[in-house]
Structure 1
Amino acid sequence: MAAGAGVTGVSGDGGGSPAKLNLAYIWMISAVAALGGLLFGYDWVVVGGAKPFYEAYFHLTSEALIGWANSCALLGCLVGSIVAGLLSDRFGRKPLLILSAVLFGVSSILTGWATSFDLFIVWRILGGVAIGMASNVSPTYIAEVAPPEWRGRLVTLNQLTLVIGILGAQIVNLLIAGSGTEAATTEALRQSWVGQFGWRWMFTAVAVPSLIFLVLAILVPESPRWLVKAGRIEEAKAVFKRIGGIDYADGQIADVARSLSHEASGQAHWRELFKPAVFAVLLMGIGLAVLQQWSGTNVIFNYAEEIYRGAGYDLSGIMFNIVITGAINLIFTLVATAFVDRAGRRALMLWGAGGMAIIHALLGGAFFMGLTGPLVLGLTLAVIALYAMSLAPITWVLLSEIFPTRVRGLAMSVSVSALWVACFGVTFTFPLLNRALGAAGTFWIYGLFCLIGFALIARFVPETKGRSLEEIETQLGLR
């Protein structure tokens, strides 16, 4: 891709010598990788707005079938994250970006025009494979091209595009739903234009940005750190040189080479993840991934209909409230982007986990006392705001930073797989928990997870802001 104008910056890599960073180029290639996050966000949330309509169309009535339709894509996410880990360390980050773009486009069209519930499930799972790949490879690619003082903001860019995708899906859902929200009965909903065709276009709309992502992903360079690991030094040097000049390139290659020299030669193997120092960091990554999901916030996106209906809103109000949640999500992700390289990762994570524990306790109390309407809406928006500026983006930043270069793809694969297993668990069990414990008990459980997460972050998670990836390896005792 064509480089933008050079912008002077100071890099902490390469022996600490000042570098003239081409920030326009860095932001451009990072933004292309972050398009995977946009598609991830759209595909992940579109199901929530389409839910009342495809449930009526496919005659879904039991909690098990409703939970399966809402969570089946997560099995694909798990497969995609595992595949990405196996293939990205061997073939590079760029081919996986391209493959995920193809899968996003194909699965969105096939899901939208599925002729049976079984086919709907199959194509949703295929879309989940694309999400799993993008969630693994996009932040990894960005972290590997970003200078340390910009890495937090650039990796958070992936989360920013993700929430733009979420908001986009919510707006598209609202616009397409239209008069369908006025249907008085399930049968009327099923026979409406939205019940027959509108929900299909909610899914199909993502094919257009998928095509854009595919074209741009073909044009970006391969990750220079992966190129060094693969022995393609001249290609890596050319990418680093375009990012920060010849001195920057030499310093970066020397740093990565030194890091790799402490590790065995050849391809990375799964058994390397069980070396004591690496395994300890891997457990940290798994813990962060599980906490991000069992904080309960994604339930608000995926089951907004049940939550807001239980709070007294009709379908029209529910659809509008969903758009508000997306707007709050976007605003506070921008806050995270502004502060991640200033306040640091650890402080934002502590603030988010602690605050969410309190808000979940209040939200459970509101449902317990039968309070409805604006109070419940306000508390759910507060949870989303805290999540958007902490656990949602910063988890991805930390996962992209803490693993050593040699096994980064494999370690990311395990951590992201744990994330999707946790996400499947929380998504599938919400209808069951809600029926057994009520909304109050369910949100109190999520609050307890946030409280446990706060304690674990305070005890185990280090601050990584402003450090090169190789310096973080040293900080964590990985070399």
Structure 2
Amino acid sequence: MEIFARSAEQRMPDGDATRGAGNLLFVTLISLVSAMGGFLFGYETVVIAGTISLVKQQFAFSAFMEGWFVSSGLMGCVIGVVIAGNLCDKVGRRGVMTLSGALLTAAAIGCAFAPDPLWVIAGRIAGGVGVGLASIASPLYISEVAPAKYRGRLVSLFQLTITIGIVAAMLINAELLRRALGGTQVPGQGWWHWLMVEQVWRGMFLGQFVPATIFLICAAAVPESPRWLALRGHFEHAQHVLERLRGEKASAAAELGEIRNAVNKEIQSKQGWAAAELRKPLFLGIFLTVFSELSGITVVMYYGPIILERAGVSAGSSLNGHAIIGIVLAAFTLLAVFLVDRVGRRRVLLTGVAGACVALAVTGFCFARGVSDGAVIIGLLCTFVAFFAFSIGPIKWIVISEIFPTNVRARAMGIATIALWLTDIVINQLFPIVRDQLGIWAMFLGCAVFLAIQFVVVLARLPETKGLSLEEVMSIWKEDRISRGSVRLGMPDAARPGTR
């Protein structure tokens, strides 16, 4: 990273118009490194789907142990999120990402070579903690190093890499299982044959070893967040990092001045969580993460094959249909990268929520009327996933990474993310009950109602933060500018007070 930064600076003469592009390239590079935590997030949480039946057979799991095998990873995620906020404040954003990479690397090795069930569970918990840490540190780091103009699209990379990780896990699971069941010859008869054919679930877990190791090494090489450095009083170091990120001493000094003023005011105010300046963004952060899960996206991703089978799709075709849904999720998340900083968070989110609500309502109606055309259901679910992917999915991470003051940002993001994981656990526990007692249609219509509620709240309470620096975002809550209309209705940046 240091070599790349120096070479980029050497290529850009003073006053050259390409300097900003060169520094943007460096910022994008370190953002991609941070976003690798999202890839591992997606892979670690979905790889379990291909291993459940194989691990259960391998170790003769009881129903309790099967449930513990699945839920242990989620428990680890909750632990990781709980400790991530304080760790980010104490050791820095870079340090937490490095720790996350180390845990995910260890989890890949531990699960792949586990001699007994206890080692498998330990690996699952370690991987879950790593995911929990990454879910806070990665978007937080990107938001604090990105220039305001490009912050939305760069933070969107985190959600994009989550979806790529999900698809990668699906494809690797399917390919390894196909090879094992088809008797594909794997060179050698040693440990590699053991991993890839004899006990193929081990190879599924080992699939994250390479990206986890790359994340570990690269995360340790990126510069620390300048805002964390300023919060700790390391202003000279923060100035140096900002000069590398922005390319000009003058602009770096001006940005550091804003950061120092904001941090000093935050420290001097010593406001509690009940203060209006924290209460309003905290409500929005928790609301967006909770209602992201109440949209039903994890139900579709986790129970997709079962849902498609209920619609009359054969077991083999349901897996193919589910893979198509995963690919749509990744493809339309890429669209968010190009939209959020051009159109704005509010408009993109409102469009996505409205489209997803209609798609789920129609899906629920089809199930209620007994529609058994698998192609229709797959098409509707793909439509829902597409609207979710370019709006609800990435924008929740963008918003919670930019609406909180620097001195509490990591901990506040932790609270919002804990709410996300707890909601995820509850809704996925409830789905089988609702499915069996009422029918799949009830779950889809219920999620459509939650999306309608989200549309109303976003329309009324979410300010537009496109183009604002993190320090300028704080002025929204101080001045209560949501009620003044300019932010709420998405007035162009040039007409918005306080913007540059």
Question: Is TM > 0.5 for Structure 1 vs Structure 2?
Answer: yes
Q: 2:207 aligns with which of 205, 208, 214?
A: 205
| Paired amino acid for 2:203 | W
Cα drift, residue 30 of structure 1: 0.7
Paired residues for 1:437-452 under 5 Å? 437-452=438-453
* Structure 2 counterpart of 1:235: 237
- Partner residue, 2:294: 294
Between the two proteins, what is the percent identity of the paired residues?
Answer: 36
- In the TM superposition, what whole-angstrom CA distance separates every residue of 1:95-144 from its partner, at most 9, and x where no partner exists? 10000001111112323444555654443232111111101010000000
* Structure 2 unmatched runs, 5+: 13-18, 184-193, 481-500
Partner of residue 79, structure 1: 79
* Aligned counterpart in structure 1 of residue 218 of structure 2, from 210, 216, 240: 216
Deviation readout 1:66-110 (Å, 9 max, x if unpaired): 665444422211111111101101221011000000111111232
Distance 2:347 2:395 in 1: 10
Of 132-141 and 318-327, the range deviating more from structure 2 = 318-327
Deviations 1:188-217 (A, max 9, x none): xxxx99896122211221011100111111
Aligned to 1:130: 130
CA distance in 2, matches of 1:177, 1:317: 16
Is 1:159–1:392's contact at 8 Å kept on the other side of the alignment? yes
Structure 2 SS opposite 1:477: helix
The TM-score normalised by the length of structure 2 is: 0.85
Q: Measure, in 1, the Cα distance between the counterparts of 2:105 and 2:195.
A: 24
Q: Which moved more, 1:440-449 or 1:467-476?
A: 440-449
Once residues 353 and 406 of structure 2 are traced to their aligned partners in structure 1, the CA distance between those partners, rounded to angstroms, is 29
Q: Tell me, yes or no, if structure 1 residue 276 matches structure 2 residue 276.
A: yes
Asked if the contact 1:70–1:427 (Cα under 8 Å) also holds between the matched residues in 2, the reply is no
Question: Counterpart of 2:429?
Answer: 428
Equivalents in 2 of 1:156, 1:193: separation in Å?
35
Query: Aligned with 2:220: secondary structure?
Result: helix
Show the 5 A alignment for 1:370-381: 370-372=370-372, 373-381=374-382
Match of 2:418 in 1: 417
Instruction: Provide closer, same or farther for how the CA distance between residues 131 and 160 of structure 1 changes in structure 2, counting only shifts above 3 A.
Output: same
What are the equivalent positions in structure 2 for 1:159-198 lying under 5 Å apart?
159-178=159-178, 197-198=199-200
Counterpart residue number, 1:5? 8
Aligned to 2:496: none
Unaligned runs of 5+ in 1: 9-17, 184-191
Shift of 1:5: 3.3
Specify whether residues 448 and 180 from structure 1 end up closer, same or farther in structure 2 by C-alpha distance, changes over 3 A only.
farther
- For 1:82 and 1:290, the matched residues in 2 are separated by 16
CA distance in 2, matches of 1:432, 1:195: 36
Two-structure CA RMSD over aligned residues (Å): 2.7
SS at match of 1:160: helix
Separation in 2 of the partners of 1:194 and 1:247? 56
- 1:305 partner amino acid: P
Question: Does 1:256 pair with 2:263?
Answer: no
In terms of Rg, which structure is larger?
Answer: 2
Distance 2:133 2:244 in 1: 27
Q: Deviations over 1:235-281 (max 9, x none)?
A: 1111100111201210111000110121225xx98x73232320221
> What's the CA shift for 1:155?
0.4
Name the SS for the 1:405 alignment partner: coil
The answer on 1:247 being equivalent to 2:250 is yes
Give the match for residue 462 of structure 2. 461
Distance change (3 Å), C-alpha of 1:155 and 1:380: same
CA displacement at 1:315 relative to structure 2? 3.8
Give the deviation of 1:326 after TM superposition: 2.1
1:477 aligned onto 2:478: yes
Write out per-residue CA displacement over residues 373-400 of structure 1, whole angstroms, 9 at most, x where no aligned residue. 1111111111111111011001100011
Matched, 1:369 2:369: yes
- Structure 1 residue identity aligned to 2:474: E
Structure with more contact order per residue of length (Cα contacts < 8 Å, sep ≥ 6): 1
How far off is 1:170 after superposition?
1.3
How far apart are the structure 2 equivalents of 1:296 and 1:80? 24
**Counterpart in 2 of 1:142?**
142
Q: Is the 8 A contact 2:465 2:473 kept in 1?
A: yes
Q: Which amino acid is the alignment partner of residue 161 of structure 1? A: T
For 2:436 and 2:69, the matched residues in 1 are separated by 18
Which deviates the most, 81-90 or 107-116? 107-116
Shift, 1:309, TM fit: 2.4
CA gap 1:129/1:370 in 2 versus in 1, 3 angstroms: same
Residues 353 and 27 of structure 1: is their aligned pair in 2 closer, same or farther, counting only changes over 3 Å?
same
Q: Kindly tell me the number of residue pairs found equivalent between the two proteins.
A: 458
From the superposition, tell whether residues 122 and 312 of structure 1 become closer, same or farther in structure 2 (CA, over 3 Å): farther
Residues in 1 aligned to 2:330 and 2:211: alpha-carbon distance in whole angstroms: 19
3-state SS in 1 of match to 2:224: coil
